């Protein structure tokens, strides 16, 4: 077997192995999982997540996911906890302790100390009969038959299972809280993700000029309006009512189809019933309309009144696309 074939085979085998183990987690979700979620949901405090080794790394990821989905959480390293970091735990907090074996020395020292605080303890372990499994108030079973590692030593499948159960916890809590896209945006204001969740059409149109002509505007002035406003489009208004749209594509088609353009007006080349979007809609929704209809510009309105233009280039520049 070629080296490349060997590598590809090994990668596929690892993915397949872990996928089967993750699929089996469905069979391990029981009433105790539900009770653990309810305990966190009704808690007035935070979720303190702790672990040792690779489980500690997974704990930090679970903390990040909980925080970003509306459940306050904080990480406490199991080794540091017994040297002063136990002060992280407050009266109303719920503690999640992660350990594949549930029997590591640090866990055996830490668990009784946590119990002394009388905080609810959720054990996330692959062995319900382990020290952690017996001492925890609630046990989340993350049993895996073996690791993807051919020596069954390196934490691979087990840590993936821990992370998946953490995600399941977070999503259950998200659903119970009725956590919406707007809530999500509060915790993700930065970068393109944040902009997709909070940037409004009005944030785009306020940066642009507002091209407009009437149905009676002659073609020369229509072309000037499109050029000067630099959006490749103009709205056609009869008073305050939008009656059409003219794009630079319409101008090109007009020049192709008409040898004499002197007598033409905006109404002769405009397209009726243009696509519009409300000012307070998300810019990401504007992008969806543009992509769905294979167009580059969209007219923005406020209660039916024309307010400006959203161009595909605006969305690219803002990182929405």
Residue-wise pLDDT tens digits, 94-107: 999 999 999 999 99
Q: State the first-to-last Cα distance of the chain, in angstroms, to the nearest integer.
A: 43
* φ/ψ of residue 305, rounded to 5: -95, 130
Choice between 262 and 20, residue whose per-residue pLDDT is larger: 20
Indicate the SS3 state at residue 168: helix
Residue of 280, 271, 270, 273 whose CA lies nearest to 301: 280
Residues 89-93, mean pLDDT to the nearest whole number: 95
Residues 30-53, mean pLDDT to the nearest whole number: 97
Q: Which two tokens stand for residue 225?
A: 């309006």
**Is residue 105 within 8 Å of 129, Cβ to Cβ?**
no
- pLDDT at residue 184, as a whole number: 74
Q: How far is it, in rounded angstroms, from Cα 59 to Cα 111?
A: 16
**Is residue 250 within 8 Å of 264, Cβ to Cβ?**
no
Q: Which residues pair with 311 in a beta bridge?
A: 297
- pLDDT at residue 190, as a whole number: 63
- pLDDT at residue 180, as a whole number: 80
- pLDDT at residue 256, as a whole number: 86
**Is residue 69 within 8 Å of 173, Cβ to Cβ?**
yes
Average pLDDT over all residues of the chain? 92
| % of the chain residues with pLDDT over 90 | 79
Q: How far is it, in rounded angstroms, from Cα 179 to Cα 40?
A: 15
- pLDDT at residue 202, as a whole number: 92
Residue 88 pLDDT > 90, yes or no? yes
- pLDDT at residue 258, as a whole number: 79
Work out the pLDDT band at 192, boundaries 50, 70, 90: low
Read off the DSSP letter of residue 232: S
What pTM did the predictor assign?
A: 0.71
| Maximum CA extent, the chain | 91
Q: How far is it, in rounded angstroms, from Cα 243 to Cα 32?
A: 61
The H or E element spanning position 97 is: strand 94-99
Q: Which two tokens stand for residue 294?
A: 């294979």
Instruction: Compute and round to an integer the Cα radius of gyration of the chain.
Output: 30
Residue of 21, 52, 23, 24 whose CA lies nearest to 147: 21
pLDDT tens by residue, 142-168: 999 999 999 998 999 999 999 999 999
pLDDT tens by residue, 111-123: 999 999 999 999 9
- pLDDT at residue 196, as a whole number: 72
pLDDT tens by residue, 65-84: 999 899 999 999 999 998 88
Residue 185 pLDDT > 90, yes or no? no
CA–CA distance from 248 to each of 96, 223, 252, 253 (Å)? 60, 8, 6, 9
Residue of 60, 85, 64 whose CA lies nearest to 75: 60
- pLDDT at residue 189, as a whole number: 63
pLDDT tens by residue, 197-250: 778 999 999 999 999 999 999 999 999 999 999 999 999 999 999 999 999 898
- pLDDT at residue 255, as a whole number: 87
pLDDT tens by residue, 299-317: 999 998 999 999 999 888 8
Domains recognised in the chain with CATH numbers = 3-179 (3.40.50.10490), 201-317 (3.10.580.10)
Q: How far is it, in rounded angstroms, from Cα 307 to Cα 321?
A: 23
State the helix-helix crossing angle for 191-198 and 283-293, rounded to 10 degrees.
90
Q: Which residues pair with 265 in a beta bridge?
A: 218
Q: How far is it, in rounded angstroms, from Cα 214 to Cα 91?
A: 68
**Vertex 276: Cα angle to 274 and 279 (nearest 5):** 155
pLDDT tens by residue, 130-145: 999 999 999 999 999 9
């Amino acid at each position: 077997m070629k080296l490349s074939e060997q590598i590809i085979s090994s990668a596929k085998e690892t993915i397949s192995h872990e996928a089967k183990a993750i699929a089996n987690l469905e069979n391990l979700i029981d009433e105790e999982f539900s009770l653990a979620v309810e305990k966190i949901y009704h808690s007035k405090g935070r979720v303190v997540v702790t672990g040792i080794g690779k489980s500690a790394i997974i704990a930090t990821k679970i903390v990040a996911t909980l925080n970003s989905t509306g459940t306050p959480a904080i990480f406490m390293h199991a080794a540091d906890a017994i040297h002063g970091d136990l002060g992280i735990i407050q009266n109303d907090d719920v503690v999640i302790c992660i350990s594949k074996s549930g029997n590591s020395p640090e866990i055996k020292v830490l668990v009784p100390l946590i119990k002394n605080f009388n905080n609810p303890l959720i054990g996330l372990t692959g062995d319900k009969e382990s020290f952690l499994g017996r001492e925890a108030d609630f046990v989340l079973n993350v049993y895996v038959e073996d690791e993807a590692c051919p020596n069954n030593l390196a934490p691979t499948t087990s840590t993936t299972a821990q992370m998946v159960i953490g995600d399941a916890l977070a999503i259950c809590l998200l659903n119970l809280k009725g956590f919406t896209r707007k809530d999500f945006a509060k915790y993700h204001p930065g970068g393109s993700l944040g902009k997709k969740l909070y940037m409004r059409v009005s944030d785009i149109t306020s940066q642009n000029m507002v091209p407009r002509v009437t149905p009676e505007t002659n073609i020369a002035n229509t072309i000037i309006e499109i050029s000067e406003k630099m959006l490749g489009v103009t709205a056609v208004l009869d008073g305050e009512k939008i009656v059409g749209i003219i794009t630079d594509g319409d101008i090109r088609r007009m020049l192709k189809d008409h040898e004499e353009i002197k007598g033409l007006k905006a109404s002769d080349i405009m397209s009726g019933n243009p696509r519009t979007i409300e000012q307070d809609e998300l810019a990401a929704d504007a992008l969806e309309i543009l992509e769905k209809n294979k167009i580059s510009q969209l007219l923005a309105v406020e209660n039916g009144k024309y307010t400006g233009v959203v161009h595909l280039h605006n969305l690219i520049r803002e990182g929405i696309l």
